[in-house]
Amino acid sequence: MALLPYICLRKGLPSEAEQRAALAAAGATADELAEAYVDDCRRKGGQPQRDYIPGAAREGDEVLVARLGVLATTKEEALRFVAAIAEHRAVLRDASSGRRYSVRPEAAQDVADALRLAADIAEDERKAVMERARRHIKKPRGAKPAMTEDDKERARRFWFDQTLTTKEATEKAGWPERLLYSTLGKRHRPAFGKMIHKRRAKK
């Protein structure tokens, strides 16, 4: 089993030092904190490091956060992330409360599907509102297709899934590979595999 600490820097959240202190108090070692997944949302959008976690998580692994608010800025994002780690039978632990959120192996797929359904319903409701608002906006001719935030969020689920090849991720995301690279960045986190193998060697 591995501990996967996650830190997100964003307005309204504790500082990086405060989050690291909370994770350490919850049992994260110096080595684990040195390899924590960190997103700095003060400088760029999205949480790409968070999206690497489901592809790295294995049954029994624990995703540790200083507080639940670091996971996402919307309910849909949070639901999809929890669904993804539930599918891999990993556990989410909130250092601020000590609570652990886990799913029995035999129910993991059902729970993941239910969470994704809830996220898709919420996303569809928001899309309907946006579509009504856009009906009166004229698009310039010849404009290149652009990804909305909803498109990006959906594409990230496949783009950062390390169990898929780039071709498979591109097909599932439904956007050109070049556009996905330019919008979401590289698929693989540097030293990604090395980090996971090193942790599992400690068993």
Within this chain, do residues 164 and 79 fall inside the same structural domain, yes or no?
no
What does the pLDDT look like over 165-203, one tens digit per residue? 898 888 888 899 888 888 888 887 544 444 444 444 444
- Look at the pTM and tell me if it is higher than 0.75: no
What does the pLDDT look like over 59-72, one tens digit per residue? 999 999 999 999 98
Whether 94 is covered by a domain: the verdict is yes
Domain span at 57: 3-137
State how far the Cα of 159 lies from the Cα of 177, in Å rounded to an integer: 10
What does the pLDDT look like over 118-177, one tens digit per residue? 656 656 666 666 666 666 555 555 555 678 887 888 888 888 888 888 988 888 888 998
Q: By C-alpha distance, which of 90, 86, 64 is closest to 1? A: 90
Within this chain, do residues 13 and 90 fall inside the same structural domain, yes or no?
yes
